[in-house]
Amino acid sequence: MASLTVPAEVPSVAEDCEQLRSAFKGWGTNEKLIISILAHRNAAQRKLIRQTYAETFGEDLLKELDRELTHDFEKLVLIWTLDPSERDAYLAKEATKRWTKSNFVLVEIACTRSPKELVLAREAYHARNKKSLEEDVAYHTTGDHRKLLVPLVSSYRYGGDEVDLRLAKAESKVLHEKISNKAYSDDEVIRILATRSKAQLNATLNHYKDEYGEDILKQLEDEDEFVALLRATIKGLVYPEHYFVEVLRDAINRRGTEEDHLTRVIATRAEVDLKTIANEYQKRDSIPLRRAIAKDTGGDYENMLVALLGQEEE
């Protein structure tokens, strides 16, 4: 369930643009006004605001925000204001520039988005960078990481609920055989994870647990980085809320908050399932996500995070 709150009566897009313009003028920036508008508009409304702002003032709203805001607050507002597919394209591009740990961001985009959302992200990446996402992932990765990531980001899975139980049984046997033999990067393991629908994978992993008496994730607990990537792949595909709770816990609970991860999860899930993720977080850590965020962040950055969490009034 989404956490984004949009007013029952939204001001006209012209009024939103005028208010944003006024927030940038005079002595200092009115961050509170920016939050009150952008943190309470959905993707379609934000896109229209950007278009109207450019038509009215001859300025790119994103560039204005970049000039006026700073640090983690700036990054959060900019990422949030992007259209979801543009956002994923931006995040994917940033991930290809960094060390292998950022491969988890690529897995996240490939596995937690719907088939259509992943296609749109690839199209946006192509438009922004004049090359394909697959091309950059292949260029910036090597070995088993490349072997897994390229088919994941290239995938166009069936998005329906129908499953083939015979296939689930057969492929659970394949997965058990390969993983028991630590053949983690076997072609068959990657084929199954990179091509099967989420519903089919769920059926396969349920049969795996019933037949072999252990969750597949329990057998993927080696410290190896590629195995960790496989775990993230499975969690992102079949247990996305649990995956995001782990990312948030790691971001918040480590010594010094990992703001990039916190920003990414809040911005990408507020219109999707952030309320569900927040509930799961509280079940796991016995502390509301809002309180955990308030404990580790501050100022306008905290205010924007909490606004997107839909809990400003608490």
- State yes or no: 297 annotated in a binding site: yes
Among 202, 212, 96, 193, CA closest to 147 = 193
- State yes or no: 294 annotated in a binding site: yes
pLDDT of residue 314: 44
Q: How confident is the model at residue 28 (pLDDT cuts 50, 70, 90)?
A: confident
- State yes or no: 28 annotated in a binding site: yes
Q: What is the mean pLDDT of residues 87-92?
A: 97
Count of residues in the chain: 314
pLDDT of residue 258: 84
Q: What is the mean pLDDT of residues 243-265?
A: 88
Query: Can you tell me whether residue 310 is helix, strand or coil?
Result: coil
pLDDT of residue 256: 56
Tokens 């390229």 map to which residue?
Answer: 150
Q: What is the mean pLDDT of residues 29-38?
A: 96
- The percentage of the chain sitting over the pLDDT mark of 90, rounded to a whole number, equals 90
pLDDT of residue 102: 76
**pLDDT of 313 strictly over 70:** no
**pLDDT of 254 strictly over 80:** no
**pLDDT of 122 strictly over 70:** yes
Q: What is the DSSP letter of 196?
A: S
Residue 4: how many CB atoms within 10 A of its CB?
Answer: 20
- State yes or no: 64 annotated in a binding site: no
**pLDDT of 270 strictly over 90:** yes
- State yes or no: 143 annotated in a binding site: no
Q: What is the mean pLDDT of residues 46-57?
A: 97
Q: What is the mean pLDDT of residues 249-256?
A: 79
The two counts, helices (H) then strands (E), for the chain are 19, 0
Q: What would the two tokens of residue 4 be?
A: 């984004």
Sequence-ordered list of residues with C-beta below 8 angstroms from that of 262, at least 6 positions apart, any chain: 248, 251, 252, 293, 297, 305
Cα 155 to chain centroid distance, Å, stands at 17
**pLDDT of 114 strictly over 60:** yes
Residue 59: how many CB atoms within 10 A of its CB?
Answer: 13
Tokens 């990992």 map to which residue?
Answer: 258
pLDDT of residue 255: 59
Contact indicator for 266, 308 with CB cutoff of 8 Å: yes
**pLDDT of 11 strictly over 50:** yes
Q: How confident is the model at residue 264 (pLDDT cuts 50, 70, 90)?
A: very high
Q: What is the mean pLDDT of residues 264-281?
A: 97
Residue 193: how many CB atoms within 10 A of its CB?
Answer: 20
Please write the tens of the pLDDT for every residue from 227-243: 999 999 999 999 999 99
Please write the tens of the pLDDT for every residue from 154-210: 999 999 999 999 999 999 999 999 999 999 999 999 999 999 999 999 999 999 999
Q: What would the two tokens of residue 48 be?
A: 């229209």
- State yes or no: 254 annotated in a binding site: yes
Contact indicator for 13, 284 with CB cutoff of 8 Å: no
- State yes or no: 26 annotated in a binding site: yes
